[in-house]
């Protein structure tokens, strides 16, 4: 599933029109929100939402380096520390709906530093992919 998240992220330009109109309240993140939403669709698998671990995987899918993955881990831990749910060893992880994660007052919108980092990592990933594509193209024609 993480691979699919990465593929969806790399092909972001064609995805903008799919969901961005629904999230006009977060104009600064309009390029990354459709990716988060589509990846949530992949992970929710009929459960009606995703859990903390799914969100961590979605957000880390665009990380290129170990440092980026560590930053994302820290951010996810930080936002979930705020809404700490009592730990029960035998309970199933809490499921969060799209509205709770990316809605007008959603977890990622309220804690926009996470979307700031996600969007920065997304841009770096897309630039790296484009660089590799350009090198391949140059090698074929050169």
Given pLDDT bands bounded at 50, 70 and 90, which one contains residue 96? very high
118/68 Cα distance (integer angstroms) = 9
Res. 125: pLDDT tops 80? yes
pLDDT tens digits along 34-80: 888 888 988 888 888 999 999 999 999 889 999 999 999 999 999 88
pLDDT of residue 90: 61
Q: Measuring CA to CA, how many Å separate 16 from each of 8, 20, 34, 142?
A: 11, 6, 6, 34
What DSSP state is assigned to residue 50?
B
Mean per-residue pLDDT over the chain, rounded: 81
Size (the chain), residues: 142
Q: Identify whether the C-beta of residue 129 lies closer than 8 Å to the C-beta of residue 140.
A: no
pLDDT of residue 9: 66
Q: Which of 96, 131, 111 is nearest to 26 (CA)?
A: 111
Given pLDDT bands bounded at 50, 70 and 90, which one contains residue 100? very high
């Amino acid at each position: 599933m993480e691979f699919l998240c990465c593929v969806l992220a790399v092909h972001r330009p064609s995805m903008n029109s799919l969901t961005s109109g629904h999230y006009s309240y977060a104009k600064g993140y309009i390029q990354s929100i459709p990716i988060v939403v589509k990846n949530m669709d992949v992970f929710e698998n009929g459960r009606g939402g995703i859990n903390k671990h799914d969100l961590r995987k979605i957000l880390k899918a665009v990380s290129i380096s170990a440092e980026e993955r560590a930053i994302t881990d820290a951010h996810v831990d930080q936002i979930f520390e705020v809404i700490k749910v009592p730990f029960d060893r035998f309970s199933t992880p809490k499921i969060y709906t799209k509205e709770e994660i990316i809605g007008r007052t959603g977890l990622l919108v309220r804690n926009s530093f996470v979307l700031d980092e996600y969007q920065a990592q997304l841009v770096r990933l897309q630039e790296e992919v484009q660089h590799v594509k350009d090198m391949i193209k140059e090698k074929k024609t050169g």
